[in-house]
Amino acid sequence: DAGVTQSPTHLIKTRGQQVTLRCSPKSGHDTVSWYQQALGQGPQFIFQYYEEEERQRGNFPDRFSGHQFPNYSSELNVNALLLGDSALYLCASSLAGASGPQHFGDGTRLSIL
């Protein structure tokens, strides 16, 4: 039973570029949440997708957008990258309507030069 998988593992971009990160949820899960974890900080909630729609959003600018596909996998897109976007991006999956917690992937380490 595969857990949450994220790709790529590491990514290096330059300021102003755009990036797409990918996430496959744990088998049986239908909801995907994305978090940003800056170095030395706790994860911060970016947004959540359910039924291919953004259901909830944290305090992040519109440069951060996402998508969920019919197979429940998800993408996180970030436009006009800033140095401050350097972080570990974590994907978490869960089952809507159940009392189970969110399960996290190992993350994508994004470095902006």
Partner 1 sequence: AQSVTQPDIHITVSEGASLELRCNYSYGATPYLFWYVQSPGQGLQLLLKYFSGDTLVQGIKGFEAEFKRSQSSFNLRKPSVHWSDAAEYFCAVGPYSGGGADGLTFGKGTHLIIQP
- Please identify, using beta-carbon distances, which residue of 17 and 51 lies nearer to partner 1: 51
Instruction: Select the residue interacting with partner 1 from 63, 100, 111, 113 (CB under 8 A).
Output: 100
Q: Within 10 A of 37 (CB to CB), how many other CB atoms are there? A: 15
Instruction: Select the residue interacting with partner 1 from 23, 90, 110, 112 (CB under 8 A).
Output: 90
- 17 lines the binding site for partner 1 (CB under 8 A): no
- Please identify, using beta-carbon distances, which residue of 38 and 83 lies nearer to partner 1: 38
Instruction: From 4, 11, 6, 8, select the one nearest 85 (Cα to Cα).
Output: 11
Q: Within 10 A of 105 (CB to CB), how many other CB atoms are there? A: 20
- Please identify, using beta-carbon distances, which residue of 73 and 80 lies nearer to partner 1: 73
Q: Within 10 A of 113 (CB to CB), how many other CB atoms are there? A: 10
Instruction: Select the residue interacting with partner 1 from 43, 72, 76, 87 (CB under 8 A).
Output: 43
Q: Quote the CA–CA distance of 111 and 104 in Å, as a whole number.
A: 20
| Tokens of residue 1, six digits | 């039973």
- 96 lines the binding site for partner 1 (CB under 8 A): yes
| Tokens of residue 64, six digits | 């951060």
Which positions lie near partner 1, rule CB under 8 A?
4, 31, 33, 35, 40-45, 47-48, 50, 56, 58, 90, 92, 94-107
